[in-house]
Structure 1
Amino acid sequence: MPRKIIIDTDPGQDDAVAILLALASPELEVLGITCVAGNVPLALTAINARKVCELAGRRDVKVFAGCDRPLARALVTAEYVHGKTGLDGIDLPAPEMPLQKAHAVDFLIDTLRAEAPGSVTLVPIGPLTNIATAMRKAPDIVARIGQIVLMGGAYFEVGNVTPAAEFNIYVDPEAAEIVFKSGVDLVVMPLDVTHKALTTRPRIEAFRALGRVGEVVASWTDFFERFDMEKYGSEGAPLHDPCTIAWLLDPSLFTGRRINVEIETRSELTLGMTVADWWGVTTRAPNAYFVGDIDADRFYALLTERLARL
């Protein structure tokens, strides 16, 4: 039986690639896509998610709009990375498939209550606002979540939006604190692993050779990588969010440790920092499997093979 997942997202080119990877993989059943404000405002993330579904030929996938701002702060966005639409790089037609009428948070709650306990995996690849809001609104769903596989945080790499914080956690640290303290089985893809999954010119050209979907992905990565190449002096850019889907498909691509992770919500200097006890220097109980390494060649081979199916 396919693994049932809900993708919570703020597309974002790398979010879009993650969605495509999931929709191309028969091992996964995407019950729905919930959108949140993050890389760009909510209205754009809800449009972008539907564009990606249509690109994949999957107008049957239900897309829901969720929270348009963090729990306790003003929204911070990242158009400087992703462009004004969030999917700059190529023009895709406006989506024809409808946005679902229900709020994303209500969809999360209703689905987790309807499905068998432990049978649904949540895959948040943006700020954790929708997930935390659902947990606060309906505490009974927490015990019904099978696993949360998320992209966010860092330990050695530290921050990409501030010196101490990764973007997804920084945008809504209060939401992240709720999720990390929830007791749900967490798998975390931090910058430390995603920065080892860099695009290269041969990898991008392999996408481009796949046909229409590959051409779109290549155009996204062409646009997306310019920011990281300039910032880090790297050969390419990290495809952060597809790492979550790759974990679901083949965990052997990754290695990590089960450790304690706390979220900083108060300090002006380190707001949004994932304080990861990688070396076990505290007595705090482990609450997350923090991934530290990836076989990048096998990751890109998987991604290319699956995108070729669309």
Structure 2
Amino acid sequence: MKKQSLIIDCDPGVDDAVGLMLALNAPELEVLAVTAVGGNVPVSATSRNARILRQVAGRTDVPVFAGAERPLVREPAGAGEFHGAEGLGDLKPFEPQGALASGPAADAIIDIVMARPEKSVALAVMGPMTNLALALRKEPALAARLGPVSVMGGARSEGGNITASAEFNVWADPDAAAEVLASGCDVVMFGLDATHQVRATDARIAAIEAVDSDSARWAASMMRFSQRVERKIVGWDAPPVHDPCTVAWLMAPELFTLKPCDIRVETQSDLTRGHTAVEFRVAPGQARHRWATAADGQGVFDLITETLKRAAS
């Protein structure tokens, strides 16, 4: 079986944690590194959380690099109310085994991708795109060298989750998102239009809770926390599980419907900061990006459950 080589760029974050558990337990994926960025919580916490999660998954062989502490030009903004003050929901963080890998995340992305065959390394971006933007500034040739860049971010028909029109990851660093989308990278975006179709119902969480492994227990705990928080803040019984979509697509692309498009990000207006303008009216062959319009929610949860079950056996 040919494995997809992958770097995971994330800001764990409860749904990042589920995405990491999926990727780190998937035999179809060769996870080369995890790069952390400030987003849901500060980078000091996200880089620690990434090391905790790799330890829980039994994957201390995967290096974790710390990345950008703040957006390119704006003040940091967190989302601790949706992820817990430390980013791990109800679970208490601890000092993990294994230190951070040396060097900044942007350099790690460049070094890994440029050393491997062209288009062979995919990048799953689960947080603000700051690390990738910094890497592209330092090495513009990275855009043509990278394989697909699978991004959780943006909103179109669903509206935003941080403002009326903006999704948090893009809103947190819209300037980075705008640079990445203009860079020539092969970007596939999983915005709220698709991720709102992937919801953690009681039955879906229970199926993961039935798997006898630390990875499954942690993933289920994250979703139970989200379920409780979403009920209190938003009024939803089944919270969307956003970030795992970036990994699920790499493993099972048939679970998603994608449309060619051109995506631009609003960086000037305070009112619409981080709005993703997704334009489908693009001449054939001229579309720079792909946008997920639909997701098979049950299929994504089946993939997560079966992957964790196989790893536990």
Unaligned runs of 5+ in 1: none
Deviation larger for 212-221 or 5-14: 212-221
Give the counterpart letter for 2:81 in structure 1: Y
Matched residue SS, 1:260: strand
Contact 2:17–2:222, Cα closer than 8 Å, also in 1: no
Q: Residues 2-37 of structure 1: CA distance to partner in whole angstroms, max 9, x if unpaired?
A: 111100000001101111111111111011000000
What's the offset of the Cα at 1:285? 4.3
Q: Give the count of matched residue pairs.
A: 309
What's the offset of the Cα at 1:225? 2.0
Matched residue SS, 1:162: coil
Is 1:289 equivalent to 2:290 in the alignment?
Answer: yes
- Matched with 1:262 is 264
- Matched with 1:303 is 304
- 2: distance between equivalents of 1:282 and 1:138? 29
What's the offset of the Cα at 1:154? 0.8
Q: Residues 275-307 of structure 1: CA distance to partner in whole angstroms, max 9, x if unpaired?
A: 1124x2899942211001111111111110111
What's the offset of the Cα at 1:92? 4.8
Classify 1:256/1:115 alpha carbon distance in 2 versus 1 (closer, same or farther; 3 Å). Answer: same
- 1: distance between equivalents of 2:174 and 2:32? 27
- Matched with 2:65 is 64
Give the counterpart letter for 1:233 in structure 2: G
Is 1:199 equivalent to 2:200 in the alignment?
Answer: yes
- Matched with 1:16 is 17
- 1: distance between equivalents of 2:104 and 2:178? 22
- 1: distance between equivalents of 2:198 and 2:247? 13
- 1: distance between equivalents of 2:284 and 2:59? 47
Is 1:250 equivalent to 2:252 in the alignment?
Answer: yes
Unaligned runs of 5+ in 2: none
- 2: distance between equivalents of 1:205 and 1:42? 31
- Matched with 1:210 is 211
- 2: distance between equivalents of 1:88 and 1:235? 17
Contact 2:122–2:146, Cα closer than 8 Å, also in 1: yes
Classify 1:80/1:29 alpha carbon distance in 2 versus 1 (closer, same or farther; 3 Å). Answer: same
- 2: distance between equivalents of 1:263 and 1:143? 21
Give the counterpart letter for 1:190 in structure 2: G
Contact 2:261–2:291, Cα closer than 8 Å, also in 1: yes
- Matched with 1:31 is 32
Matched residue SS, 2:290: strand
Matched residue SS, 1:146: coil
- 1: distance between equivalents of 2:304 and 2:64? 23
- Matched with 2:159 is 158
Classify 1:143/1:281 alpha carbon distance in 2 versus 1 (closer, same or farther; 3 Å). Answer: closer
- 1: distance between equivalents of 2:81 and 2:234? 15
**TM-score normalised over the length of structure 1:** 0.96
- 2: distance between equivalents of 1:164 and 1:245? 25
Contact 2:86–2:93, Cα closer than 8 Å, also in 1: no
Is 1:42 equivalent to 2:35 in the alignment?
Answer: no
Deviation larger for 210-219 or 114-123: 210-219
- 2: distance between equivalents of 1:75 and 1:93? 24
Q: Residues 42-75 of structure 1: CA distance to partner in whole angstroms, max 9, x if unpaired?
A: 0000000011100101110100001100000000
